[in-house]
Structure 1
Amino acid sequence: MGSRRTEIKRHLPEEEIDEMLREAEDDHHLRRIGFIKNLYQGDTIPEAADREGRSAATGTRWAEDWNEGGFEELMPSFGGGRPPKLDEDEQEELVEMLRDGQPWKSQEIQHLLQAEFGVSYSPNYLGTFLRELGLSYAKPRPKRPHRPENPDEILEERVDDALDEDDQPHNKREGEDEEGWIVEDDTCTDGGTVLGFFDASKPQLYDNSRRVWYVDDPHIERELVKAHDSAVGFYALNGESLVTFTEDEEKERICGVLEKIREQNTDKRILLVLDKHGLHRCEYTRKRAHQLGIDLIFIPSGSPHLNPIEQVWDYLKWTMAPIVVENEAEFKDLVQKTFEKITKRISFARKWCEQFLDFQKLS
């Protein structure tokens, strides 16, 4: 028998409890008396609570009240005021229901209250009632199904692995053909290490998060200049950043951008943090990166927040939103100038460096 059975004090003989069961006038008293009777009969606390339609947590609280002061402590007392629509036990039961099906809309909770407890609350009071129960009210955040439970730990391990140089190609996977995994003769990587972040985006000249002035209609109807090509960026912390446009994001185009990154960052090994897009992870791209002296560090799936260049893109879009340009060429020039200007700041990656980077290894 579990310890919860032996902790229950026998304040009254079982015959008196049976008499109280026969004389109970309402469900609140009947449930609590029945709960103690179940414990007397040998139930554990969860079993005794379940027989009365209550959770184990409620049973534990009831047992503590009983041990402390018998039925005087156990029985509910509403005082002289108007009793609440849901007593403490029903409120706990409601919270368990809401936990199981979360998140909820207010209308759904109203329906649940009516269906399960036969009560309703005014819309103005419902929020107050739910907050008193410990619920929070916020916009739901989508959960990325492929994100691992510990993305930060995984990335930290990958960064450490990349910083620990050895004779084996970092980008190469076990079992892949040996041919081609050689750094090109004219590529020098012994002058230090450049760390940067890589990603593609499609910035446009509008941002709905930006406030605008209007007389009586905030909608934009004028023709907006759009760029159909992808902007591919390299945000370097201690090297030369780069942004360029590609007509698509095929592996040949991605490798062409890697070549430009190498041209702007000569004589140094390059550590490139990027997402696990299929064209980034394919052998063609990984091999070409190795030939250029670029070691790839992939962030875990579903974890874009671990790539600081995402913040660069967000700030770039916000900065460009109010600017008017005449054509696509002028737009691309604006992207390049804005990217060059804001990537001189390392603040976008400060927290990332504090969390993941060992500066002694980098130097």
Structure 2
Amino acid sequence: MERSRRKEIEHHLTEEEIDELLREAEDDHHLRRLGFLKNLYRGDSIPEAADREGRSAATGGRWADAWNEDGLEGLMPSFGGGRPPKLDEDEQDELVEMLRDGQPWKSQEIQHLLQEEFGVSYSPNYLGTFLRKLGLSYAKPRPKRPHRPENPDEILEERVDDALDEDDQPHNKREGEDEEGWIVEDDICTDGGTVLGFFDASKPQPYDNSRRVWYVDDPHIERELVKTHDSAVGFYALNGESLVTFTENEEKEQICGVLEKIREQNPGKRILLVLDKHGSHRCKHTRKRAHQLGIDLIFIPSGSPHLNPIEQVWKYLKWTMAPIVVESEAEFK
């Protein structure tokens, strides 16, 4: 809708000329389109101007594009002669609402819908053009994560608030677990404030191909591929010292080793560490070791990686590294 409001409307005619055309109009088709144009001239957004004439925002968008590109001739096609469209404007609006309710659709499903509801069919070669004119887009659907809760942002915010409310109970300890070992080490100090950061692991490769390149014949790269089997593990601190290191794997012992490095980088403060529910992150061994280091773990809701900003850091690093040529794994690290 915001894009529609910002669309520049060409002034091919004066408002007085539009008023004269409105007085001379003899059918509803012309009256609606000229009325829509008059509404735009008076400052309406495209959806508002279309709604005043009983038309959808999508129809208004098509009318505005036709006016901008071809003026009055584009906005006011001949409705008398020539082959009429298979669906009139009202039917097209009805079709868009049907498609909105059941989206996304395959082309074959839309063909079936057109035949069942309107008794018409379109050539497969033309169907895409027709649907784009109606304002539809054609793209791969993004899968919806089935385990993601309805309000992951609110859940994470509540978990952070709970962690900030310090009490005598170990934050990482679960109800029913034994008491042994849930003690912060004597040399760990946590009364100097709080560090908040995000934790994650990734497996970047020197040959990640995430950037476009210029080429004359064939866009392939002829060089030996340098590989690494190690994981990059990162701590993205919002108000402390961040850390990136490599580990042989992502098992609990390796993860705890990284937690120890994070503690070394951020001494004297309590650490709130936001991370996903990977098995090595939420196991008792890791949770207990984190508590001993004065690190409280806050787990992101299932299926919500978008809440961890370090995911975007990994993506940027992979994009940045893509054009860099390295000769060895050590050079890559």
Superposed pair shares fold, TM > 0.5: yes
User: Take 1:16 and 1:218, find their aligned partners in 2: how far apart are those partners?
Assistant: 56
Contact 1:232 1:246 in 2 (8 A): yes
Give the 3 Å change call, closer, same or farther, for CA 164–89 of structure 1 in structure 2: same
Give the 3 Å change call, closer, same or farther, for CA 88–228 of structure 1 in structure 2: same
Contact 1:5 1:39 in 2 (8 A): no
Task: Please identify, of 96-105 and 161-170, the stretch whose mean Cα deviation from structure 2 is larger.
Answer: 96-105
Task: Please identify, of 174-183 and 67-76, the stretch whose mean Cα deviation from structure 2 is larger.
Answer: 67-76
**How far did 1:10 drift?**
45
User: Take 2:6 and 2:202, find their aligned partners in 1: how far apart are those partners?
Assistant: 62
Give the 3 Å change call, closer, same or farther, for CA 311–41 of structure 1 in structure 2: closer
The Cα offsets for residues 177-229 of structure 1, whole Å up to 9 and x where unpaired, read as 22211101111111111121110001112343301122200123422111111
The Cα offsets for residues 144-165 of structure 1, whole Å up to 9 and x where unpaired, read as 1111110111111111111222
Give the 3 Å change call, closer, same or farther, for CA 221–116 of structure 1 in structure 2: farther
Contact 2:207 2:226 in 1 (8 A): no
Give the 3 Å change call, closer, same or farther, for CA 113–28 of structure 1 in structure 2: farther
Give the 3 Å change call, closer, same or farther, for CA 174–27 of structure 1 in structure 2: farther
Count of residue correspondences: 330
SS class of match (2:286): helix
User: Take 1:297 and 1:362, find their aligned partners in 2: how far apart are those partners?
Assistant: 32
Q: Identity over the aligned pairs, expressed in percent?
A: 90
Give the 3 Å change call, closer, same or farther, for CA 149–205 of structure 1 in structure 2: same
**How far did 1:117 drift?**
3.9
User: Take 2:205 and 2:60, find their aligned partners in 1: how far apart are those partners?
Assistant: 58
User: Take 1:181 and 1:241, find their aligned partners in 2: how far apart are those partners?
Assistant: 26
The structure with the larger Rg is 1
Task: Please identify, of 117-126 and 191-200, the stretch whose mean Cα deviation from structure 2 is larger.
Answer: 117-126
**How far did 1:23 drift?**
34
Give the 3 Å change call, closer, same or farther, for CA 223–8 of structure 1 in structure 2: closer
Query: Unaligned 5+ residue runs, structure 2?
Result: none
Contact 2:62 2:134 in 1 (8 A): no
The Cα offsets for residues 266-308 of structure 1, whole Å up to 9 and x where unpaired, read as 1111111111112211121111100100011111111111111
The Cα offsets for residues 116-146 of structure 1, whole Å up to 9 and x where unpaired, read as 5442335565345435555344431111111
SS class of match (2:190): coil
**How far did 1:318 drift?**
0.9
Structure 2 length normalisation: TM-score?
A: 0.69
Contact 2:62 2:133 in 1 (8 A): no
Contact 1:240 1:265 in 2 (8 A): yes
Give the 3 Å change call, closer, same or farther, for CA 47–157 of structure 1 in structure 2: closer
Contact 1:255 1:285 in 2 (8 A): yes
Give the 3 Å change call, closer, same or farther, for CA 267–37 of structure 1 in structure 2: closer
User: Take 1:274 and 1:132, find their aligned partners in 2: how far apart are those partners?
Assistant: 45
Contact 2:256 2:286 in 1 (8 A): yes
User: Take 1:152 and 1:98, find their aligned partners in 2: how far apart are those partners?
Assistant: 30
SS class of match (2:140): coil
Contact 2:226 2:329 in 1 (8 A): yes
Give the 3 Å change call, closer, same or farther, for CA 28–196 of structure 1 in structure 2: closer
**How far did 1:112 drift?**
4.0
Give the 3 Å change call, closer, same or farther, for CA 214–162 of structure 1 in structure 2: same
Give the 3 Å change call, closer, same or farther, for CA 22–101 of structure 1 in structure 2: farther
Contact 1:198 1:233 in 2 (8 A): yes
**Residue 324 of structure 2 aligns with which residue?**
323
Task: Please identify, of 279-288 and 129-138, the stretch whose mean Cα deviation from structure 2 is larger.
Answer: 129-138
Task: Please identify, of 69-78 and 220-229, the stretch whose mean Cα deviation from structure 2 is larger.
Answer: 69-78
SS class of match (1:93): helix
Contact 2:234 2:243 in 1 (8 A): yes
Contact 1:195 1:236 in 2 (8 A): yes
Confirm or deny that 1:143 pairs with 2:113.
Answer: no
Contact 2:190 2:269 in 1 (8 A): yes
Contact 1:14 1:37 in 2 (8 A): yes
User: Take 1:24 and 1:171, find their aligned partners in 2: how far apart are those partners?
Assistant: 75
**Residue 305 of structure 2 aligns with which residue?**
304
User: Take 1:172 and 1:195, find their aligned partners in 2: how far apart are those partners?
Assistant: 19
SS class of match (1:232): strand
**How far did 1:169 drift?**
1.2
Task: Please identify, of 121-130 and 242-251, the stretch whose mean Cα deviation from structure 2 is larger.
Answer: 121-130
Task: Please identify, of 204-213 and 90-99, the stretch whose mean Cα deviation from structure 2 is larger.
Answer: 90-99
User: Take 2:163 and 2:257, find their aligned partners in 1: how far apart are those partners?
Assistant: 23
Give the 3 Å change call, closer, same or farther, for CA 25–217 of structure 1 in structure 2: closer
Query: Unaligned 5+ residue runs, structure 1?
Result: 330-360
The Cα offsets for residues 326-350 of structure 1, whole Å up to 9 and x where unpaired, read as 1111xxxxxxxxxxxxxxxxxxxxx
**RMSD of aligned alpha carbons:** 10.7
Give the 3 Å change call, closer, same or farther, for CA 183–13 of structure 1 in structure 2: closer
